[in-house]
Structure 1
Amino acid sequence: MRRVLHLSDLHFGRDRPELMRPLIETVNSLEPDLVAISGDLTQRATEAQFRAAATFVAALKPPVLVVPGNHDVPLHNLAVRLVKPWQRYRRWFGRDLEPCWIDDEMIVVGANTVNPLAWQRGWFRPRSLARIRRSFAGETERVRIVVVHHPMEHTPEDDKELMHGAGRAIEDLAGCGADVVLSGHLHTWRVGPFAEAAGRGVVLQVHAGTGLSTRVRGEPNDFNLLEVSSARIRVQRYVACEDASGFRITDSRAFHGGGGRWSVEP
């Protein structure tokens, strides 16, 4: 079994400083095998905000895999956004926008879904899907996890535009045996199978809200802890205490199956 801690939408620049130390201490005390951060480390992609985000990540003891979010490219500096959108992100978090983590029990692949030309709406690029297919090719035992910023399925309550290429991405990921997709962007918590993948393999979608931001949209600050194996996946939601003293478990969902086909555990 492996444990993956899923953080998203930290939004340094619109963060809660009083919650940072409790979050770091909670993450480190849980000792996950990997921390996956699904984008929006900053609010406006400034040097100071990236520095704060990098300081936070450096304080985490487990290995960390990070993908960018739309807030991690400059919004108001149009020239930089069009010509060098990733310059600051890469300065602080490395050149690889689609990192990968592999061990004996899992493969975790990041995909960059940010479209600098359409700042809010994401884009699942065909080349990113091809890279994921290659990474998962021939795998039958290890759990296969994808980390993106933009979710690929919305509910009627979601007020943001669905990512370009979302439908094709769900089909491709189901077809290549993906087990879990971790995402953020909406600042809401959701765990369950993709409805559109039913019949072709039931991929689990796991949304995290915001780990640190004041932009909570009616939900508390939270993160997910996934316990994954070839036959069972459990997702626990950790929510910030009202006094910001720490985080506590409020929800737990379990699924059984394997090989890209999962159903809710009775």
Structure 2
Amino acid sequence: MIRLAHLSDIHFGGENVAAVTGAAEVLRGGGFDLTIISGDLTQFGEIGEFEAAAAWIKTLPGPVLVTPGNHDAPYIAWFERFFSPFGRFQRLIGQVEGQTHVSPGLAVFGVNTARGVQPRANWSKGQISRRQTARARDWLCAAPEGQLKVLVCHHPLAEMIGGPMTARVWGGEAAAKAFSECRVDLVLSGHIHAPFAWPYPFGDRRTYAAGAGTLSLRERGVPAGFNIVEADEREIHVRAQAWKGSHYETSRTWSMDRRQ
């Protein structure tokens, strides 16, 4: 059994303090193979917010894989936003692109779908380039059959059905199709602040998108929370954990067939 903790959109600087503390307690007692944080660690990309995030991550049992989100580019420091949008992330958190984790039965690759600036009005939306897609596809395709193959990014590559907001990822549909053809099992993301799980409509429909909610005060119709992902040889289970003010409870579960 593979057990993953999938968190996203903590937004240090605007975090739900009790929910963040409670999540760390679950992680320390949960026996997870890997903790994944899919972006938006900070609210405004401020140095103090990154420092708080880094200190919190150090309290978690390893290993931990973290990708950036659009909020992790400085909001006020415009020179940095244009010329080194994820310099603070790299300096205080770690690798920005191409993070990997390999352990028995598990292969994970991280992609940065956030951008400091873009040639469109809403810079919060996502992008994944052909080069990023090819690099992630080739790495995951090379993983042995039978491993749980996981791609991590901040923005959902295809829109959450009925979601409270959009990601509008440039290159997202092509990437989702490529990862489906490569027989990736899961694409984990955040950004939407609401949990979901559903299959991509490509190939054998056994590549699943799953999104975690938020641990911030910026709730969008669902409580603060995160996901627990469990996979055996036959099924993948995604369990959304909802903060109840003093503890977490499973609010929804998705069960999805694995490739045989």
| Gaps in structure 1 of 5+ consecutive residues | 260-266
The residue aligned with 1:204 is 208
**Structure 1 residue 187 corresponds to structure 2 residue 196:** no
TM-score of the superposed pair, with normalisation by structure 2: 0.92
Q: Does 1:124 align with 2:124?
A: no
Q: CA deviation at 1:149?
A: 0.1
Kindly report the root-mean-square deviation, in angstroms, between the aligned alpha carbons of the 2 structures: 1.6
**2:172 matches 1:166:** yes
| Count of equivalent residues | 254
Q: Which residue of 1 aligns with 2:239?
A: 236
Preserved CA contact (<8 Å) 1:145 1:181: yes
Contact 1:31 1:62 in 2 (8 A): no
In 2, the alpha carbon distance for the partners of 1:234 and 1:137 equals 23
Contact 2:155 2:167 in 1 (8 A): no
Once the two structures are TM-superposed, the CA of residue 142 in structure 1 deviates from its matched residue by 0.7
Say yes or no: does 1:150 pair with 2:155.
Answer: yes
Deviation at 1:29, TM superposition (A): 1.2
Question: Does the CA contact (< 8 Å) of 1:26 and 1:246 recur in 2?
Answer: no
The answer to whether the 8 A contact 2:154-2:189 is kept is: yes
SS in 2 for 1:94: coil
Give the match for residue 253 of structure 2: 252
Deviation at 1:175, TM superposition (A): 1.0
Are the aligned partners of 1:100 and 1:110 in contact in 2 as well (CA < 8 Å)? yes
Superimposed CA distance per residue, residues 76-132 of structure 1 (whole angstroms, 9 cap, x where no aligned partner): 322211111111101111234321001120101111101211321110121221111
SS, match of residue 26 in structure 1: helix
1:227 maps to 2:233: no
Give the 3-state SS of the residue equivalent to 1:258 in structure 2: coil
- Aligned-pair identity (%): 31
Shift of 1:158: 4.3
Question: Which letter does structure 1 place at the counterpart of 2:158?
Answer: E
SS at match of 1:151: coil
Q: Tell me if the contact between 1:113 and 1:122 (Cα under 8 Å) persists in the aligned partners.
A: yes
Task: Please give the alpha-carbon distance, in whole angstroms, between the structure 2 residues aligned to 1:208 and 1:221.
Answer: 10
Take 1:94 and 1:156, find their aligned partners in 2: how far apart are those partners? 33
In structure 2, the residue matched to 1:213 is: 216
Distance (whole Å) between structure 1 residues aligned to residue 178 and residue 70 of structure 2:
23
Matches within 5 A, 1:100-119: 100-118=100-118, 119=123
Residue 36 of structure 1 aligns with which residue?
36
Cα distance between partner residues in 1 of 2:5 and 2:98: 18
Alignment deviations for residues 21-66 of structure 1 (CA, whole Å, 9 cap, x no partner) = 2221111111211000000000001011001111111111131000
SS at match of 1:214: coil
Contact 2:206–2:257, Cα closer than 8 Å, also in 1: no
Q: Partners in 2 of 1:173 and 1:2 — Cα distance? A: 20
Do the aligned partners of 1:113 and 1:124 also contact (CA within 8 Å) in 2?
yes
CA distance in 1, matches of 2:255, 2:166: 28
The Cα offsets for residues 204-239 of structure 1, whole Å up to 9 and x where unpaired, read as: 1111110x2000012101111111234221111111
Q: Is the 8 A contact 2:39 2:69 kept in 1?
A: yes
Paired with 1:167 and 1:12, the residues of 2 have a C-alpha distance of: 30
Deviation at 1:246, TM superposition (A): 1.8
Aligned match of 2:4: 4
